[in-house]
Amino acid sequence: MLKTKTLSRQAIGRFPCAQCGAVLKYAPGTTHLTCDYCGFENRIEYRAGIIQEYDLQEALRQLSAPRTEAPKAQIHCDECGAGFQFEANIHAGECPFCGSPIVTTTTQSKPIQPKSLLPFGINESEARQQFQRWINSLWFAPSAVKKYARSESKLTGVYLPYWTFDSDTETDYIGERGDIDYVDEPVQVTRDNQVFTEIRRVEKIHWTTVRGRVYRFFDDVLVGASNSLPRKILDALQPWDLEQLIPYDEHYLSGFRSEYYQVDLDEGFDHAKQVMDSVIYRDIAYDIGGDHQRVHQVRTIHSATTYKHCLLPVWSAAFRYRNKSYRFVINGRTGEIQGERPYSWWKIGFTALVALLLAVGVYYYLESTDALQHSQSSTYYSMPYYNINRY
C-alpha cells in the first residue's frame, strides 16, 4: 500500500502580505502580488538569469536509469490547518477548505522541473471579454449558445507545461522533378450537333529523377506536455512570445493552478520531429524545383539537439449545451482563443440548400445562353503530390 508523507513547510510556497500578513495572489500583467484584503501591492523581486537549453541525449540517458517513484505527498495548509492532496497532475492551486493559494515544489513527482515561465499578461476580466467576442462571432452556432457569453461563470487560470526543442538537421532525399511542357494535339469537339477537330495546347509533365540534401536549424519547436486538453487546441494557441520567458519563480503561480508535465521528454521530441518533418518536406520541394515534385525517400539526422521545460499561462473553462460539455482555452498572453463548439445543423442545412439553389440557377442560366458549351476546355491539370517512404 502506497504511503503518504507530509510536505515540509519549506516545500510549500506561501506568500504573506508585507502589510497585513494575508496570503497574496499574483496580479496578471504586473510584477507584483496583490493583497485581496488591504490592496497592498507586494513587488516580486527580479531574478536575473539566462534561460538555459539542456542537452536532449544526456537527459534521455539519465531518465533511462532506474528511479524510485516518489510517494504522493500530503499537503498542509498553514492558513486553516487542513491536510489534503492535489490531483495527480497538479502542483499549484487552492486549498479546498479555505481557498488559500498553495504552490508546492515539483521535485516530489517529476525528474525534470520547469526552469522558465511566461507570467499571465491578461486578467480574468480581459479573458472573459475575449471569450464573449469569440462566441458571438461563431458561424452556425445555436442561438442559445451565444447567451452563454453573458454568463458570469468563473474562468480558471492554469499554467500548462510545455517542451521546446532546438535541433540542427541534415536531410538526404530522393525524388522527381516535374516540368510542364505544352504540345499541340488534335481534339474533337461537338458544336451545333456537328463534330469538329480542333488543335489545342495540352499540358504534359516531364519527370526527372533527382537527389539532394537540405539543411535546417529549428529553434524553439513548441510541444504541449499536458493531456488535459486536445493537442490540436494546445497547438492552435500559438504563437507564444517565448523570447520573453523569465526564470521560474513560484510567486507568479500564486492564485493559479499549475500542472506537471504528462507527456514525457522522449514522447515530446517524437511530436516535435513530426512538426520539423513538415517543414523539411517543404524545403525539399523548394530544393527540387520545377513545377511539380515527388518525394520518394527521406533520411534526416538530428544533431546538437536541446530542450527546455517551461510553463505557459491559459485561461480555461467549459460550458454545457444539450448535456454535452464544450471546453475552450485562452492564451494568457495574447488573448488568442481556441475551443470546442456546437453547431446548429438546421442553419447549416438551410445555407447548403440556398447555395445549391443558386448553383442550379447559375447552371441553367449558362446552359440557356450556350456559355457552357463554348467554355469547354480539354486542358489537362495535374496536382503535385508526395509519395514518401522513409529509409
- Give 251-300 pLDDT, tens digit per residue: 999 989 999 999 999 999 999 999 999 999 999 999 999 999 999 999 99
**Does 336 reside within a domain?**
no
Low-confidence ranges of the chain (pLDDT < 50): 1-10, 82, 97, 344, 372, 374-391
Count up the domains in the chain and report the number: 1
Position 149 scores a pLDDT of 52
- Cβ atoms of 280 and 260 within 8 Å: the answer is no
- 4 occurs within a structural domain: yes
d(CA 77, CA 95): 7
Q: How many residues does the chain have?
A: 391
In a domain, 258, yes or no: no
Give the closest residue to 12 by CA, choosing from 97, 108, 98: 108
Helices (H), 119-244: 124-136, 143-146, 231-236
Q: Give the pLDDT of residue 225.
A: 94
Tell whether 384 is covered by a domain: no
* Cell (9 digits) for 31: 510584477
Q: What is the pLDDT of residue 82?
A: 44
Q: What percent of the chain has pLDDT over 90?
A: 40
pLDDT of residue 384: 41
Does any domain span residue 29? Answer: yes
Structural domain range at position 102: 1-46+68-110
Task: Examine residue 279 and state whether it is found in any structural domain, yes or no.
Answer: no
Does 19 reside within a domain? yes
Domain assignment present for residue 85? The answer is yes
Pairwise CA distance, residues 61 & 159, whole Å: 28
In sequence order, the 6+-apart residues with CB closer than 8 A to the CB of 110 are 260, 261
> Do residues 54 and 306 make contact, with C-beta atoms less than 8 angstroms apart?
yes
**Confidence at residue 23, expressed as pLDDT on a 0 to 100 scale:** 81
